[in-house]
Structures are given as structure tokens and as C-alpha cells.
Amino acid sequence: MHRPWPYPRVVGHRGAGTLTPENTLAGIRKAATMGFGGVEFDVMLSADKVPLLIHDETLDRTTSGRGSVAATPYARLASLDAGAWFSPEYRGERVPSFEEAGKLCAQLGLWANVEIKPARGFERETAAAVAKLALELWRAPPAPLLSSFEPVSLDAARAAAPGLERGYLTDRLAPGWDETARALGCVSVHCNSRYLTEAQADEVRSAGYWLLCYTVNEPAIARRLFSWGIDAIFTDRLDLIPPDFA
């Protein structure tokens, strides 16, 4: 039986989407200021195994640094500018640790979808670190939902924190998705909105999973997905799709 979705139905992607630098504390604050109840962000490990918020395996696109995230100590990462690339207004914004982001979410009363985003070769190690720290950071509800494209990471997260719920993240629903998600003990399926069909949405929900779609930036598409019974969407356009849209 499909359980009612207990969390926000419109979630800020990588914080506040295109309104602030992605995966920053500024983005989390912006989403909260705009009335959103939930945010999504990506977590990777530094060279010294500190979980931090960043999407790419390299620093080049979203910081003033260069090179591999996994090869850079967190002290160096924390000194980089993660906002100037976006706009002068955010110059000086830093790469936050997962601990900083989790504490801020708790302070602001935000639910979080934490995407475990491991650098290649660190799938299990990243997931274990993220899951263990999530247990410490969220001692009171609502607990975060841990998601990942990597089955190995989901398995490691389950081993490290079996009480935290997990989401099976995929681009397209391929044959065998249900067996994989069920074997990993996932409670939700997160997929690319561009490829999802109404029949697939019915299949996922009939199988008892929550269904979440990324990255939905057009109100018309959001309406269509919600009419299919989608539980939640991730959006970059918090200015177009408000928290009460659903």
C-alpha cells in the first residue's frame, strides 16, 4: 500500500536552485526564507574524509579552486570561494561541511533529501560517513532521506544507519528497478521527470514506493506530474513553483 508522503511536496534542488550558488548555506537559507520546507543537496568526501556539499568531482565549476575534491583536504576546500562564480552578491560564500548544513536545516526546521554523491572509488566509504553523521545531526524528526545513484552507496548507508530511510535514484526506470530498490530496502524512487511516463508512475506507486521527480522547472510539467500522483518534485525555479504549488 502506498503510504501518504509526510514531507514537503516541492523541494529546493541543491538548496535554492538557480536563485543562489548551489550546495551552499546561502541556498538553504534562501529556500527557508521563501517558505520552502525542504531542500536537497549533494554530499561528497574531502581527502581527509570530511563530508561536504558539492556536486562535481572537481572544484572548477562552482569554486575558485581547481582539481579533485577527493584529493583536497577540507581546510583547503573551506577556504575557497563558492559564490563568486554565481554573482558578486555571493562572493565569499564557502563550501559548507555536511555538519554545517545539517545543523542549519535543523535550526531552520527544514527537511532534507541528502544525495550521497561519491567520487569514483569512494562509493561505500562516502555513504557510511554520511549516514553515520546524519544520525548524529538529526536527533529529532524530521529525519533526512538518503538517496543515491549508486547501489553500493545505498547498501553501505543501510549498514551504517538502518533506521534512516533511503531513496533509489535513477535517470530512467529500467527493467529490474523494483528488484534492485527492494533489495536495498528503499522507500522511494527518484527519477528524471523527462523520461517518466504515467504508466510508470502508476507502477512505482502501486509497488508501494514514494515517487519523486527531478528537476522540474516548469509549472505546467509540475501540474502534470502531480496529476499522476507524484509525491514530490525537486525544482531549480523556486520563483516559479512555490512551496504551496501542490
Q: Cβ distance 125 to 118 under 8 Å?
A: yes
Q: Is 94 in a helix, a strand, or coil?
A: coil
Could you confirm whether 55 is annotated as catalytic?
yes
Q: Is 163 in a helix, a strand, or coil?
A: coil
| pLDDT the model gives residue 55 | 98
**Residue (of 53, 140, 54) closest to 97 by Cα position:** 53
Which residue is it, cell 525542504? 38
Segment (H or E) for 168: strand 166-170
Residue 1: pLDDT above 70?
no
Residue 2: pLDDT above 90?
no
| pLDDT the model gives residue 3 | 87
Catalytic-role residue among 7, 9, 13, 177: 13
Summarize the confidence of residues 220-237 as an average pLDDT: 98
Residue 38: pLDDT band with limits 50, 70, 90: very high
Cell numbers that stand for 157 in this block: 548507508
* Separation of alpha carbons 67 and 55, rounded Å: 14
CATH classification (class only), 10-38+107-235: alpha beta
Catalytic-role residue among 5, 18, 55, 85: 55
pTM: 0.97
